[in-house]
Structure 1
Amino acid sequence: MAFLVAGTLQVASQIADARESLGRKGKYSMRGPRVALTLSSPEVSASIVAVLEGVFRTLGFESCQRREASVQGFLGELAAFREQLDALGGPVGCALVALVAPSGQLKQPQQLVRELSRCGALWGRPKVFLLLSSAPGAAPEPGAFLTGLSELCGRFPHWSLLQLLTEVFCRTAEESEATYCPVLRSSLRGALCLGDAEPWGPEPEPSPTARYDLSGTRAALLLSVIHGRPGARHDVEALGTLCQALSFKTTLRTDPTAQAFQEELAQFRECLDAHRAPVSCALVALMAHGGPQGQLLGADGREVRPEALVQELSRCRALCGCPKIFLLQACRGGHRDAGVGPAGLPWFRRWLRASPTTPSHADVLQIYADAQGSSPFPTAGSSDQADILTVYAAAEGCVAYRDETGSDFIQTLVEVFRADPGREVLELLTEVNRRVCQLEVLGPDCPERRKACLEIRSSLRRRLCLQA
């Protein structure tokens, strides 16, 4: 009996600690040590590593390690780092890993991300990856991204990391003469403030010029396969109502074929280019079944790549420098995530009234940038990929859940955006992800409870607020 009581209290303590990791007001509390690791290939200049170490110190990281290795050795070094953290015997507040290598050599960074996500000491805690490319033979001095990040971290310690990165992205694009823009991928469930300042204090308001001007026309295109997707009509109705409330002129097309997906995007782009008044924002929702490699399936069962649809709208002249939002409600594979966390008996869950698990893909922020401003990182964006916000209903390779009442993603998004439409969009989407991550799904073809997690990709260069 004493063993069972002790086990119950241990699980309760772990769950309480995971809850506290998000702190008050949806912010990570950062309790526990902050650890940083720089993995760099031998070709990387010492000046770049020095700037990184300065950024780490500014952000309050007590432990900053550096290991030099070939790119092929990064995985082994990261596994050793994970084992080191687990050996600490307690939770870690935050981990920041900088991966610096010549352009094109970091071809499968997700393996590295998954390795650190297995760390028990980081369960429910933020894991930040800074993936920096360096061009062989380029000047050894850091470029606009690193210098801007170093400066802003010191000037605005109250700002969340996503807010800081948006400002850095803006400066990077300006200094590179709009030829390159970094990209971030986030599954964070709360605001992440890394500065030494008290994270619960008020955040300083950014200057008005740091926001997108949304005074022009707003246009939305909703493409949804209804047939064979129970609840899809509820998503269309809810999203249509939200778009109307946010002053978007909305076009709806249901049951498009794969070819029609492409044709509708092309026609949407042409209409915006022909619009006489200025256009300030576009929103495209793509809702369909998904293929095993993240494809969208049209009503005819044929495939279309969502990247091709994003690229189509990127060519829109009327939207140059304006935000382009893509919402993708579709499966990205067949994996069903059981989540990670302390193992407990089913009755523990009912007694504690909380799920003891979080999605295994949650709490990760990846930043893809160029260390020297000379050539874009392979998965970062060129200038025509700037100002794009893409939100996936599921992590890469995972199932997106939906039932007769609609999808978890769309229904939660509409609820959050309607409650506080004037809030910055990245902050709203982080809250959407937090709520989706709390849900447990018990589907008709899945007897065990499963978790879901959003993926937010952004190359936005200003704060985006859909309502003044």
Structure 2
Amino acid sequence: MAFLVAGTLQVASQMADARQSLERKGKYGLQGPRVALTLSSSGVLASTVAVLEDVLRTLGFESCQKREASVQVFYRTTKESEASYCPVLRSSLRGALCLGDVEPWEPQPEPSPSAQYDLSGTRAALLLSVIHGRPGAQHDVEALGGLCQALNFKTTLRTDPTAQASILSPLQAFQEEMAQFRERLDARRVPVSCALVALMAHGGPQGQLLGADGQEIQPEALVEELSRCRALWGCPKIFLLQACRGGQRDAGVGPTALPWFRRWLQASPTTPSHADVLQIYADAQGRSSGGPTPGSSDQADILMVYAAAEGCVAYRDDEKGSDFIQTLVEVLRADPKGELLELLTEVNRRVCELEVLGPDGQKRRKACLEIRSSLRRRLCLQAQLRPLPPRGC
């Protein structure tokens, strides 16, 4: 019997000054009490819940409340039970989170080769960007294109794609470009080790990508297209989405736990209300129409990075480009050998610190990334290549 475990850990950023919510740069301070709540349905084995509670107590959670709730339970069919599943992680954390006693900044032993993706093969990137009607988008294209070149990606760039036939809408062209990208990878005679796809366009209220003609497409359809690429089986597939996911403009949350006189004397920066959340789906999350099950083996090795939280606006400056893409390029250029998930957490920290003066008036707004990962190994984009065997005479 399969069941859904959605563990949500939210560091109480509303209870402290945003500048002090991370004890030191890039690390959460967890000196205060830790509390946990376990919700389970009647179909979940009591022994499973007991094991989870033991783990939480070992990690220092003082209060571990347990309640029964009408949590939906997913059952695998016979065919599904023969397939493998992988966890899916969703994160908006702004720093390293260490629940144990190990300090994350201490030197760590080198990971074994099997724990890291081998990127010795060809790396391919596809940059799809709508420039028309999106001032500043060209800066993102130039910055991201330069980064891909520095990281040895063979890059295909399409701006304002109209595909080959005029009868196709811009977003049908997105689908066509992705299909051609997949076909080119499958036709390669040399191994492919990694693919990066950047989708930069206007976004709809439900997270759709919007064209100038108002037509829409779900980004997940493009992810599914690339998931069918035989050349990328077992290889990391990175998706960067610079687009709005709705119309909400986050004003952020303030330092409510500070004494009143400190709040009056200093205007501390606010924290995005969607920040500091970690969700781990240990099994299937439910089925999309006609698509593969999120968390199943055919959805492994995928990393998706959204420029905005679900339902929120993604900001872009007419003269500088978007906060997400520009910060991403800055962080990766500064530490190209770093582990990508750790670097993305640093990108999110910097984006969360920004205060944007949105087009809706003089009020400052906040933004927060969402990182979804089903990666099974460490991913370092400037990893050492495996040495080639010596040539014969």
TM bracket, shorter-chain basis: 0.7 to 0.9
Cα deviation, residue 350, structure 1: 11
Report % sequence identity: 80
Cα deviation, residue 391, structure 1: 0.3
**Structure-2 residue corresponding to 1:43:** 43
Cα deviation, residue 181, structure 1: 1.5
- Structure 2: how far apart are the matches of 1:58 and 1:428? 28
| TM-score, length-scaled by structure 1 | 0.71
How many residue pairs match? The answer is 350
Q: Is the 8 A contact 2:255 2:263 kept in 1?
A: no
Q: Is the 8 A contact 1:183 1:381 kept in 2?
A: yes
**Structure-1 residue corresponding to 2:70:** 70
Q: Secondary structure at the match of 1:462?
A: coil
**Structure-1 residue corresponding to 2:285:** 377
Give the root-mean-square deviation of aligned CA atoms.
2.4
Q: Residue 390 of structure 1: which of 304, 311, 315 is its match?
A: 304
- Structure 1: how far apart are the matches of 2:123 and 2:327? 22
Q: Is the 8 A contact 2:179 2:226 kept in 1?
A: yes
Q: Residue 446 of structure 1: which of 340, 355, 361 is its match?
A: 361
Write the letter of the residue equivalent to 2:54: G
Instruction: Identify the structure with the greater helix proportion.
Output: 1
| TM-score, length-scaled by structure 2 | 0.84
**Any idea what the Cα deviations from partners look like across 1:320-364, whole Å, max 9, x if unmatched?**
0000000000000000001112369xxx89974741x10010000
Residue pairs, 1:352-363, within 5 angstroms: 352=266, 354-355=268-269, 357-363=270-276
**Any idea what the Cα deviations from partners look like across 1:55-108, whole Å, max 9, x if unmatched?**
11232212212112333xxxxxxxxxxxxxxxxxxxxxxxxxxxxx511xxxxx
**Structure-1 residue corresponding to 2:142:** 237
**Structure-2 residue corresponding to 1:295:** 208
User: Does the alignment pair 1:228 with 2:133?
Assistant: yes
Write the letter of the residue equivalent to 1:390: M
Q: Secondary structure at the match of 2:273?
A: coil
Distance 1:269 1:200, change over 3 A: closer
**Structure-1 residue corresponding to 2:21:** 21
Q: Is the 8 A contact 1:60 1:196 kept in 2?
A: no
**Structure-2 residue corresponding to 1:335:** 248
**Structure-1 residue corresponding to 2:340:** 425
Cα deviation, residue 366, structure 1: 0.5
Residue pairs, 1:199-214, within 5 angstroms: 199-214=104-119
**Structure-2 residue corresponding to 1:251:** 156
**Structure-2 residue corresponding to 1:188:** 93
- Structure 1: how far apart are the matches of 2:144 and 2:265? 36
- Structure 2: how far apart are the matches of 1:412 and 1:350? 32
**Structure-2 residue corresponding to 1:437:** 352
Q: Secondary structure at the match of 2:47?
A: helix
Q: Is the 8 A contact 2:123 2:193 kept in 1?
A: yes
Q: Secondary structure at the match of 2:349?
A: helix
- Structure 1: how far apart are the matches of 2:149 and 2:339? 18
Structure 1 residues not aligned, in runs of 5+: 1-12, 72-100, 104-134, 139-175, 371-375
Distance 1:449 1:254, change over 3 A: same
**Structure-2 residue corresponding to 1:118:** none
Write the letter of the residue equivalent to 1:458: S
Q: Secondary structure at the match of 2:65?
A: strand
Q: Is the 8 A contact 1:102 1:136 kept in 2?
A: no
Q: Is the 8 A contact 1:296 1:304 kept in 2?
A: yes
Cα deviation, residue 216, structure 1: 0.2
Q: Is the 8 A contact 2:255 2:268 kept in 1?
A: no
Structure 2 residues not aligned, in runs of 5+: 1-13, 162-169, 288-293, 384-393
Larger RCO (CA within 8 A; separation ≥ 6): 2
Q: Is the 8 A contact 2:19 2:268 kept in 1?
A: no
Q: Secondary structure at the match of 1:239?
A: helix
Write the letter of the residue equivalent to 1:228: G
**Any idea what the Cα deviations from partners look like across 1:239-265, whole Å, max 9, x if unmatched?**
000000000000000012111100000
**Structure-2 residue corresponding to 1:90:** none
- Structure 1: how far apart are the matches of 2:264 and 2:157? 42
**Structure-1 residue corresponding to 2:370:** 455
Q: Is the 8 A contact 2:305 2:369 kept in 1?
A: yes
- Structure 2: how far apart are the matches of 1:270 and 1:204? 39
Write the letter of the residue equivalent to 1:305: Q
Distance 1:201 1:58, change over 3 A: farther
- Structure 1: how far apart are the matches of 2:82 and 2:332? 34
Write the letter of the residue equivalent to 1:450: R
Q: Secondary structure at the match of 1:381?
A: coil
- Structure 2: how far apart are the matches of 1:360 and 1:234? 28
Distance 1:14 1:231, change over 3 A: same
